[in-house]
Structures are given as structure tokens and as C-alpha cells.
Structure 1
């Protein structure tokens, strides 16, 4: 049996625009409009949503009624939450350097990249046992962690993956492995339909 999982990254909010560690803020006006204008998604047996406000609101704007799940929660950045990467780099340059080069490091007091990758891998592999397609609106770092796992990349590859807003990354799995289709933009409703 082939299992399909489609990970959808959230629309923009203030944190994403400012390269700020997510502070739990809602989508901004442009993000809401773009999510509402996104085209149809494939049918799914289940819909899962990361518990952040931007993921819940993106799912709602896409017309998805999903169940929140802990497995695809975004990376816990501890005391850096709400701060920009530039602010933290000025205040704690050595800590940021360690965090970006050592996946086992968690100088912010939250979760290491390696631990986040393991958590997301466990969640993703658990979906192999389910029938039908899963749609999941998840944080960009969940998409990164899933790609690292699916391709068997070292955890240091996590920071080398860019995940644009409102894109779909599709996983198909069988025989104990995953194949990927990366970063497909969600189409705008009405585009190409002649209306």
C-alpha cells in the first residue's frame, strides 16, 4: 500500500516576515488573503494541524478542519521565542553559531534540531500505518525535519532547506521508504480556469 502525506506550510505572519522566532502571532492581512485565495487541495482521509496560530488560521482559510497534533509541532526555541535571529545573534553570537552548526545543541533552553527531527520522523513514520492521504498544515521547520528524515540526510542539512509559505511538500511512502515532491505552490483559485 502506498501512503501519501502532503505537508502545507503556513501563510505569512509578522514573525515569518521579520525572521522572528514564532511568537504565536496570527496571520497578517496579506497572509490571510493569500491563504483564502489558494486553490483546492486533494481530498484526504485525515487533516492534521500544528498547534500554532498561523497553522490553525491557514488551515481554516484553506477550508480544512484539522485535528491538532503534537508530533508536527514546530521547533521549541525556548527563551528565543519572539526575538529575531539578528537580535539573538548580537546578544549571543557563540550560542547562535553552535545552534546553527551542531544539531544536538539547544542553547535557548528549548529543543535541539536533532530532537525535533527525531520527533517529526516518528510522527511521519506513524502515518505509514494509516489508510488514505493525510493533509497537514505544519510549521516550515516540520517540513525541513520531515525532508531530512525521508532522504536520510544528516541533521546538519536541516538549515539548508528553504520552505516558502503556502507550498505543499508531498511524501509517498511504501516498502519502508519515502519519496518526495518538493515545494509545489498552492494555486490561486480561478487561475487557469477561464473565470
Structure 2
């Protein structure tokens, strides 16, 4: 049985534009409009999920997806850094930020490490691989990164080397434990 998983990154909002760790803000008007314009471009799926964040839920709604929240696809828990920009953290805690970016097991912010995120998302992917049909999920960019690291068998340090642009799709197709990856399809171009 072939498993198909499409992960869609959220449309643009203030936090994404400012490189701010998710602070619960809504999509901006342009991001919401862009998502609405892509609504008829998605093929039907057996399972439609969404990360529980505001920007993912709003993106799913704008795409016309009746998605159910999936806690396993929650974004990286940033602990006390939540709501702060990368520049603010770098200015106030440069050593902690450097450690976090260099060591996938580090969590100086008191939240979740990249290693734990990859394990959590990897468990979800293994469970999903046993399901029939296509799965579509609107998720935070770090979820796309974690799944990509897992399916490629890449070291967790590669997590930071994967760029995920707003409102793009990554498709993962697997059978018998072997995965193929198609990254960065822009929504609104062709039917995906």
C-alpha cells in the first residue's frame, strides 16, 4: 500500500514575517487572500488535519479544508521564547541561542528540543503510514522540516538547513518504509 502525505505550510502572518516564535497572531490580509485563491487547487483527501496554531487553523479554513486538529502536529514548543523574535533572543541570550541551533538535543528555552520534535512527528508519520488514503495537513514549517529529516534519514542537525516558504506543499509518498519527497510546490499553481 502506498501512503501519501501532503503537508501545507501556513500563509503569511506577522510572526512569520518578523521571524518571531509563534505568538498566536492571525494571518495577515494578503496571506489569507492568497490561501483563499488556492482553495480549489487541492485534490480530495481521506484525512485532513491541522496543527492547533491560529495561523494553521486560519490557513486551513481559507483553503476550504474541514480539518481536525492533530496535537501530534503541534509546532515546536518554544517555552519562554514564545512570542520573541530571533533577533531578541540572540541579543539577550546569544549562548543559549547558539547552543539551540547547534545541538538538536538542546532546549535552553525550557520547551521542546528539535530531537524531541523529530521523534514526536516521526511517531505520527509511522502511524499515518498504516492508514489508507491520502492525508493532507496544514502544519507549522518546523513540522515539514522534521518530517523531511525523518523520511530522508538525515541527521537532526539538517533540520535547520531546510527552508519552508509560506503556503507551499511538501508531498511524501511511501511504501514499505521507503519514502520519496517532493518539496516546495506553490499552492495556486496546478491542482495538487
Normalised TM-score (structure 2): 0.97
Q: Which residue of 1 aligns with 2:103?
A: 102
Which residue pairs with 1:8 in the alignment? Answer: 8
CA distance in 2, matches of 1:133, 1:147: 17
Q: Which residue of 2 aligns with 1:169?
A: 170
Question: TM-score, normalising length from structure 1?
Answer: 0.95
2:80 counterpart residue number: 79
Gaps of 5+ in 1: none
Match of 1:129 in 2: 130
- Structure 1 runs of 4+ off > 2 angstroms? none
Q: Deviations over 1:80-112 (max 9, x none)?
A: 000000000000000000000000000000000
Q: What is the root-mean-square deviation in Å for CA atoms of aligned residues?
A: 1.2
Residues matched between the structures, number: 190
- Which position in structure 2 is the counterpart of 1:182? 183
What SS is found at the alignment partner of 2:57?
Answer: helix
Match of 2:41 in 1: 40
Matches within 5 A, 1:119-158: 119-158=120-159
Alignment correspondent of 1:89 = 90
Distance between the aligned counterparts of 2:55 and 2:12, measured in 1? 8
Q: Following TM superposition, by how much is the alpha carbon of 1:40 offset from its aligned partner in structure 2, in angstroms? A: 1.3
Work out the CA distance in 2 between the residues paired with 1:156 and 1:140: 16
Q: What does the per-residue CA deviation read over 1:53-88, in whole Å, with 9 as the maximum and x for residues that have no partner?
A: 000000000000011011111000100000000000
Q: Which runs of 5+ in 2 are unaligned?
A: none
